[in-house]
C-alpha cells in the first residue's frame, strides 16, 4: 500500500520535473541572439518542409470540412426556413473554431511527429553530441530554425484552411443547394466582426503553433536515443499536442467569449 | 542550385497564399472594408424602449443600409435610451421632420433602425441636412411582441 503511494509520488515528481525541464528548454530556445542571416537558408528549408509540404493535407481537409459544414448546416437550417443564414453559420464556426483547431491537429500529425522523429534520430546517431563537441550549439543550429519555421507556418496554414473551407461551404451552399450568393456573403459579413471572430482565430492559431512545436521539438530533443525511444517520443508528441490543443482551445474560447 | 530555387520559390508562394487568405478573411468574410471606409458622422436619437437593439445593428433608409449603431447608453435623467449611430457621408439626409424607428427583420429577426428622411423643399434653410451630433427628435420605440400580445388579450377579454 505504501509502495503504491510512493510510486504515485515519484510519478508526480517526474512529471513536474519534465514540465519544468520543458519550460527551461523553451526559455533557452527563445532567449538567444538570433543570427538571422546565418539562419535564413536553414529557416527556408524548414518552412518548406513544415509549411509548404503540409499545404496539400490542409487544403484538402479544409475543402471537405467546409463542404460538410455547409451540407449539414443547410439541412438543419432549412427546417427553420433560415437557410439564408448559412454563410453566418459557416464563417463563425470555421474562423473561430474549426480552422485553428483542425489545422493544429493536422499539423501535429503531419509536421510535429516528423520533427520529433528527425531530432530523435539525430540524437540517436549522436549527431547532436558531435555538433556540441565541435562547438556548435545544437539549440541554435537545429532547434531554433525548426521552432521558428513552425511558429510561422501554422498560422499561415490556418488562414489557408479557413479560406478554403469557406469556399468549400460556398460551393456546396450556393452552387449546389441554391442559397443566394448575395445573402450568403452579406449575412456572413454582418455576423462576423473582425476584432472578435477573426482575431480570436488568429490568436488561437499562434498559441497552438507555439504549443505544438514546443512539444514536438522538446520530445525529440529529450527522447531516449533508441529505436523504441524515438517511436515513443513520436507517439507522445501527437498525443500531447492534440490534448494540449483541444484543452487550450476551450480555455481560449472561454476567455474570448468572456464567460468568466 | 535548381533544388534551392525550388524551395525558395515554393516557400515564397506559400507565405503569399497564407497572407492572401488572411486578407480574404479580413475583407470578404468580416467585411471590414465597410468599417474602414466608414468615416461616418454621429447622430443621436432617444428612444423610450429599444427592445433587442444591439451595437453594430444596421441603420437603414428605405431598407438600404447607410450606417450602424455605435453606442447605446441609458440616459439617467429621463430613464430612456440614448442611441448613437454612425451614418455614411455618401448621401445627405434632409433634416426637417426626420424620424427614426426601431423595426424587426421578419417576425423573429434582429432589431434595426429605420430612418425616415424629412422634406428638403426649403432651400434657404440654414440646417438643410443631418449634421454630426444632430439629435433626431421624432422616434418610435421598438414594437415588442409580448406587449402587443398582452394588449390584444386584454382587449379580447373586455
User: Which residues from B are below 8 Å from A157, CB to CB?
Assistant: 18
Kindly state the cell numbers that stand for B68: 450602424
Task: Give one word for B122, left, alpha or beta, with left for phi > 0 and alpha for psi -120 to 50.
Answer: beta
Shared domain for B104 and B26, answered yes or no, is no
Could you tell me if A124 lies within 8 Å of chain B, comparing CB atoms?
A: no
Q: Are residues B101 and B147 located together in one domain of the fold?
A: yes
The domain of A205 spans 35-257
Residues from chain B that touch A188, judged by Cβ atoms under 8 A, are 29, 31
Q: CA nearest B34: which of A185, A165, A199? A: A185
CB contact under 8 A, A48 and B19: no
Has residue A114 been placed in a domain? yes
Q: Which of A93, A68, A90, A116 is nearest to A220 (CA)?
A: A116
Q: Label residue B36 by pLDDT band (50, 70, 90).
A: very low
- Statement to judge: residues B143 and B80 lie in one domain: yes
**Do residues B129 and B94 make contact, with C-beta atoms less than 8 angstroms apart?**
yes
| Residue of B24 and A213 predicted with greater confidence | A213
B28 and B44: one domain? no
Mutation for testing the B interface, residue in A58, A189, A193 having most B CBs under 10 Å: A189
**Nearest partner of A214 among A154, A131, A126, A133, judged by Cα:** A154
Identify the pLDDT of residue A240: 93
Q: ipTM, 2 decimals?
A: 0.74
Most confident region among A13-22, A62-71, B49-58, B65-74 by mean pLDDT: A62-71
Best mutation target, A100, A156, A188, A209, to test chain B (most B CBs within 10 A): A156
Range of the domain at B104: 38-157
Q: What is the pTM of this model?
A: 0.75
Taking 50 as the pLDDT cut, the residues of chain A under it are none
Q: What is the pLDDT of residues B77-119, one digit of tens each?
A: 888 888 888 888 777 788 778 888 888 877 667 788 888 887 7
Amino acid at each position: 500500500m505504501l509502495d503504491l503511494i510512493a510510486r504515485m509520488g515519484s510519478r508526480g515528481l517526474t512529471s513536474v520535473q519534465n514540465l519544468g525541464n520543458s519550460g527551461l528548454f523553451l526559455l533557452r530556445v527563445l532567449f538567444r541572439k538570433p543570427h538571422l542571416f546565418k539562419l535564413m537558408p536553414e529557416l527556408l528549408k524548414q518552412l518548406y518542409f513544415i509549411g509548404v509540404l503540409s499545404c496539400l493535407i490542409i487544403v484538402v481537409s479544409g475543402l471537405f470540412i467546409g463542404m460538410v459544414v455547409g451540407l449539414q448546416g443547410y439541412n438543419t437550417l432549412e427546417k427553420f426556413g433560415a437557410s439564408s443564414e448559412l454563410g453566418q453559420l459557416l464563417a463563425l464556426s470555421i474562423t473561430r473554431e474549426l480552422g485553428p483547431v483542425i489545422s493544429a491537429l493536422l499539423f501535429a500529425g503531419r509536421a510535429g511527429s516528423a520533427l520529433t522523429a528527425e531530432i530523435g534520430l539525430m540524437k540517436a546517431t549522436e549527431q547532436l553530441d558531435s555538433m556540441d563537441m565541435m562547438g556548435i550549439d545544437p539549440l541554435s543550429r537545429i532547434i531554433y530554425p525548426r521552432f521558428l519555421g513552425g511558429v510561422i507556418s501554422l498560422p499561415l496554414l490556418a488562414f489557408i484552411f479557413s479560406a478554403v473551407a469557406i469556399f468549400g461551404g460556398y460551393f456546396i451552399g450556393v452552387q449546389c443547394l441554391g442559397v443566394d450568393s448575395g445573402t450568403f456573403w452579406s449575412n456572413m459579413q454582418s455576423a462576423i466582426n473582425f476584432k472578435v471572430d477573426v482575431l480570436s482565430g488568429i490568436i488561437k492559431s499562434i498559441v497552438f503553433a507555439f504549443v505544438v512545436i514546443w512539444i514536438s521539438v522538446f520530445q525529440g530533443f529529450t527522447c531516449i536515443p533508441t529505436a523504441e525511444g524515438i517511436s515513443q517520443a513520436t507517439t507522445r508528441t501527437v498525443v500531447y499536442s492534440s490534448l494540449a490543443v483541444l484543452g487550450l482551445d476551450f480555455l481560449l474560447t472561454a476567455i474570448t467569449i468572456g464567460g468568466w | 542550385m535548381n533544388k534551392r530555387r525550388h524551395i525558395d520559390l515554393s516557400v515564397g508562394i506559400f507565405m503569399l497564399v497564407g497572407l492572401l487568405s488572411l486578407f480574404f478573411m479580413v475583407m470578404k468574410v468580416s467585411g471590414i472594408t465597410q468599417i474602414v471606409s466608414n468615416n461616418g458622422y454621429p447622430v443621436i436619437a432617444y428612444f423610450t424602449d429599444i427592445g433587442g437593439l444591439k451595437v453594430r445593428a444596421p441603420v437603414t433608409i428605405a431598407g438600404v443600409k447607410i450606417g450602424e449603431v455605435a453606442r447605446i447608453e441609458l440616459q439617467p435623467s429621463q430613464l430612456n435610451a440614448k442611441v448613437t449611430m454612425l451614418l455614411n457621408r455618401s448621401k445627405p439626409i434632409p433634416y426637417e421632420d426626420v424620424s427614426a424607428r426601431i423595426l424587426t427583420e421578419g417576425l423573429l429577426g434582429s432589431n434595426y433602425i429605420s430612418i425616415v428622411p424629412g422634406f428638403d423643399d426649403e432651400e434657404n434653410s440654414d440646417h438643410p441636412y443631418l449634421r454630426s451630433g444632430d439629435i433626431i427628435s421624432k422616434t418610435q420605440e421598438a414594437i415588442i411582441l409580448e406587449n402587443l400580445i398582452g394588449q390584444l388579450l386584454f382587449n379580447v377579454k373586455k
